[in-house]
Structures are given as structure tokens and as C-alpha cells.
Amino acid sequence: MTNNSTQKVTILGINGRIGQFAAKAFIDAGWQVKGFGRENRAPFQGFEFVQGDAFNLKNMQRAVAGADVVVHALNLPYDKWADQEKGAVKLNHVVIEAMKGSGKTLIFAGNIYNYAAKDHKLTPDLPQRPATDKGEIRVQMEQDLVAAGRAYNFQVIVIRASDFFGPDASGSWFDLAIGREFAKSKITRVCDGKTKHSWAYLPDLGRAFEKVAAQRDQLGAYENFHFAGFRVTGDELIAEIQRALSTPYKVVQLPWWVFNAMALFNPMMREIVKMRYLWQEPHELVDPKLDAILGPNFGTPFERAVAETTHSLLSESELAKITVKRAA
């Protein structure tokens, strides 16, 4: 294992949810960090920002130059993934071109779209049989990365996780759906409340990226890791949110029928509806090898993770009530 203070990492997609929390984890561990994006919106310091267009190869080469590890956390809006010229596969190819012959380590932020709807226990060796076109795109992206890594001398590590949540992390199911009506003292139940769903707490996921990167010399040319995170029912999550509040909130059901209607004319909503199966089927990420790398007692307690995320979505007046409640 190498001294982290001498190691350099580039975070592609520093403004994204995974990008930000991965960057924080590498900074806290003493790495020299570069962050790449169109503009610097990261609400923290401690890294060198590289501005550029991810579809521009020269910009991408400039971003990864000098790095020992490159974290590929770039993503596009759902409705842009399949675009032939500016889609996810094309973006992935730009990253590959920049990595060719470098001998570097590329860590790719994977998800569970690669697997069939009825695949409930997701292990790294499980055959990938995607249920949607977006899943097929993700499978192709990973296959392209692995083939290029073997052909052009760079290590490829996939760290796969399910839905994300975390303090001040916008654009997740937690803030856009479950917490969508916190201002009205309401919690939204996404599905039936009884089906178990896997969640990745972003500060923990970011630290997992760093821990894997620090041990890359002991890993193979290609590794596929599954980050377990928390696996709870919707009702268990809601109960934990309620415990973090000053007073009980009303629980309401997410109006999927509205989403279905909007999908008729809204491309983004159409893509969201396609992924509803992830809430209807219980998925569990299992990976003893990653668990061993992370070590015992890794991760934030569920109660604290939910409370910190919930509090980040509340108004100042509601937070003041919680402070008074705790003081009492």
C-alpha cells in the first residue's frame, strides 16, 4: 500500500453526488485531488479544479494527466443516455481514449441497472441481464471499459451501489420523492412500504472509493465490487425519518399515476417510470471481498445517516425545534 500523501487522484464529475463525496474522502485521506467539470460548484475546498467539456478529448486528457487514480463519476440526465453523439457510451469512450496506455487505475461508479428485475441477491459474479435499455447501456459501458483496460494497460475497478442519499445531496430519490413535501410536514412513501430497498449513504460510499484506491496494488486488472449499504423497507426508512423530526409527519403515497401520465409527453419522466421495478423488487448487494477491504465497523450507523440527511432538507425553523427537543 502506498503513502496517500504522495498519491494523486482525478475526480471526473466533481459536481455530482458521487464525485463530491468521493473527493471529500480522498482529501480527508491526504490525497492530492483534482476535480473535473464544466464549472466548479463543489461547496468545499482542498482540490485543484480543472474546467472542461467531458466530450472533448483534450480536456479529458488534461484532467487525468498526472493522476495515479481516476474516478469516473460522470453521468448524464436519463433522457440523454441513448444519444448517439452526446450519450453515455460516447462519453465513456472519451474517458477510455484519455486512459489508453497510461497504466493508471480507473474506478467506475456502477449501479444495479445491469441486472434482471428478478435478480434479488446481487453478487459480483452474477450474470448481467439488464431489464431496461438503460441497463443495456450500463452493461456496454462496463464491457467497453474492461476490454479497453486489458488492451491498453489500465486497471479497471467497478464499485456498484444502489440508490444514494446523504446530507445536502440533491437529485436523489430521498430528496426528490421521499422528502418532496417536508415543508408541508409530509413524508412520501415511494412504493408499498414492505419491499426491502438498498441505499448507499454517500459519505460512506465516498470513503469506500478511497479505501479501494489505496489497496489497488493488491487487486486484479479488473475488479467488480458491490457496496452493500443499508437494506431496509420503506416503512423502516420512514420510521427512522420520523425519529429525526421534532414532531410526527403525515405519510402519503407517491402518486405514480401522475408520473405515468406525465411520461406520455415528458421524456425524462418516461425514463423514470421505466425504473419503477427497482422499488417493486427487493434487491440486495452482497460482496464479502469488499467488506474485507472496508474492514469491521465500517460505515455510519443507519440512524445517524438518516438523521443527517433529513436535517439537511429541513427549514431553519424546523431544525431549531429539533435542537430544542434534544436540549430538553
**Secondary structure of 156-213 in the HEC alphabet?**
EEEEECCEEECCCCCCCHHHHHHCCCHHHCEEEECCCCCCEEEEEEHHHHHHHHHHHH
C-alpha span between 46 and 61 (Å, rounded): 22
Per-residue pLDDT of the chain (328 residues; tens, 9 = 90+): 455 558 999 999 999 999 999 999 999 999 999 999 999 999 999 999 999 999 999 999 999 999 999 999 999 998 899 998 899 999 999 999 999 999 999 999 999 999 999 999 999 999 999 999 999 999 999 999 999 999 999 999 999 999 999 999 988 999 999 999 999 999 999 989 999 999 999 999 999 999 999 999 999 999 999 999 999 999 999 999 999 999 999 999 999 888 889 889 888 888 888 899 999 999 999 999 999 999 999 999 999 999 999 999 998 888 988 887 777 6
The phi and psi torsions of 46 (rounded to 5 degrees) equal: 105, 10
pLDDT at 121: 97
pTM over 0.85: yes
The domain limits of the chain are 4-164+198-230, 167-196+232-281+301-327
Whether CATH 3.40.50.300 fits 4-164+198-230:
no
Residue 174 is predicted with a pLDDT of 95
Structure confidence at residue 79 (pLDDT): 87
**pLDDT recorded at residue 4:** 58
Residue 111: CB atoms within 10 Å: 18
pLDDT at 146: 98
Instruction: Give the pLDDT of residue 61.
Output: 98
Residue 81 DSSP label: T
Instruction: State residue 263's pLDDT score.
Output: 85
Q: Dig out the grid coordinates for 81 from the structure.
A: 443516455
